[in-house]
Structure 1
Amino acid sequence: MLTEMVVGQFMDLNSQARGDEAASTPVRVNQLKTAAYSVERPLHLGASLAGASDQVTSGLRTYGTAIGCAYQLRDDLLDLYGDPERTGKPRGGDLREGKRPLILALGLRSARERGGPAAVATLRAAIGEPGLTDVDVRVVADLLVELGAKDDVERRLYSLIQEAKRSLATTPIAASARQELSRLADLATSRTR
């Protein structure tokens, strides 16, 4: 778990330093850094300590990876579209810090594919710009909506939730545990803070 987290953190920092725009990078960072550390490996460790079968352990790990990644996608959306009163932090913190979440990678790809050099320039100029105003952040957020990146992330988030629930449905665990894990999946991915 420690190794995965360190590799994920390294990939995250390296993608910022190199200006990596590939969508595959934040997906992998989310798997290694957020999902593994926050959900997948704690479930794995708990299942191992409880003497769970390989089938149960595998099912819980699949669930954990999917929910951990979905949780991070929700966090990325909240960074741009959340209510600062509810999240407790200003919009656009990831942009100002130079982070490259999936929504930004998808927006850049869409802007390049549609031949929108102005859109590409707007997005690139915002990445790592600590002086972004709230209006600047809103321009980027609106542009990501226009480019379809926000909807794409929402679809991926929904797909991850469905993957997690399918895994739960086929994992031989107690019905009460299945219900609670399903409830926690909804709670973690539909949050507003």
Structure 2
Amino acid sequence: MLRLRRLREGALFHRIHRKTLSALFFGPSGATPLQRYDDPAGGYKLLYLALDLETAFGETLVRVPSVTDVLASDVAVRARSELVALRALRLYPLVDAGVSAHGLSFTELHGSDYRRTQAIGADIHAGSSADGILYTSRFNDRRCVALFDRARDAVAIRSTAALMPEEAHALAARFGKQYVDP
């Protein structure tokens, strides 16, 4: 059995999200799974977080590597939020041996076919006491967290603000993308 990783109380998380949704939105809104670790049966919800703003930007606005532009209109409908852990979080690691323990490689884990990762997320949710999953971004290999809704009370919003065009321009450039205002 793998040991759960701990993130300390007070740990900061970053999230870029639609302005129409709370920074604490656990999704998806319906039963159909949309993201990497969403429940295939729709029974639990997840809050996706990054440990730094650059990773949150990549995971949200650089979704398709072949697309060369980040559109100002996509940025304008989003906010950037910082969240804080109100207690230590116990996370199931899919960052090293945890990947192989599920019969996956990082190639599969970072792929665009989410059926296997969603099934693994459901297995982790059902078979562990983890608050969520610790995984690596497929855009810069930095850490992300998929927090299960059973740990809803473990995080709080620290701040929310607009994602400014200058900031979006600099972040897009870090991923080799152009920030454009069509």
TM-score, normalising length from structure 1? 0.29
* Structure number having the greater strand percentage: 2
TM-score, normalising length from structure 2? 0.30
